[in-house]
Amino acid sequence: QLQLQESGPGLVKPSETLSLTCSVSGDSIITSNHYWGWIRQPPGKGLEWIGAFHYTENTFYNPSLKSRVTISVDTSKNQFSLRLTSVIAADTAMYYCARANQGWRHDYWGQGNLVTVSS
Amino acid sequence: SYELTQPPSVSVSPGQTANIICSGDNLGDKYVCWYQQKPGQSPVLVIYQDYKRPSGIPERLSGSNSGNTATLTISGTQSVDEADYFCQTWDSSTVIFGGGTKLTVL
- Per-residue confidence (pLDDT) for residue B86, from 0 to 100: 98
Q: What are the strands of the beta sheet with B18-23, ordered from one edge?
A: B18-23, B69-74, B61-66
Under the banding of pLDDT at 50, 70 and 90, the label for residue B29 is very high
The answer to whether A96 faces chain B, any CB pair under 8 Å, is yes
pLDDT in tens, B92-102: 999 999 999 99
- Per-residue confidence (pLDDT) for residue A11, from 0 to 100: 98
Computed over every residue of chain A, the mean pLDDT equals: 96
What is the distance between the alpha carbons of residues A61 and A99, in angstroms, rounded to a whole number? 15
Q: How far is CA B73 from each of CA A79, B14, B102, rounded to the nearest angstrom?
A: 37, 14, 14
Tell me which chain B residue has its CA closest to the CA of residue A94.
B42
Under the banding of pLDDT at 50, 70 and 90, the label for residue A102 is confident
Of A75, A78, A95, A76, give the one whose Cα is nearest residue A18: A95
The answer to whether A69 faces chain B, any CB pair under 8 Å, is no
Residues from chain B that touch A3, judged by Cβ atoms under 8 A, are none
Q: How far is CA B51 from each of CA A58, B60, B106, rounded to the nearest angstrom?
A: 27, 12, 26
- DSSP-assigned letters across all residues of B30-78: S--EEEEE-TTS--EEEEBTTTB--TT--TTEEEEEETTEEEEEESS--
Q: What is the mean pLDDT of residues A95-103?
A: 94
3-state helix, strand, coil in chain A (%, to 5): 10, 50, 40
Tell me which chain A residue has its CA closest to the CA of residue B42.
A111
Residues from chain A that touch B54, judged by Cβ atoms under 8 A, are 107
Under the banding of pLDDT at 50, 70 and 90, the label for residue A84 is very high
Q: Beta-carbon neighbour count of residue B48 at 10 Å?
A: 24
CB B81 within 8 A of CB B38: no
What is the distance between the alpha carbons of residues B67 and B37, in angstroms, rounded to a whole number? 26
pLDDT in tens, A17-27: 999 999 999 99
pLDDT in tens, A53-73: 998 888 999 999 999 999 999
User: Which stretch of DSSP H or E encloses residue B12?
Assistant: strand B9-12
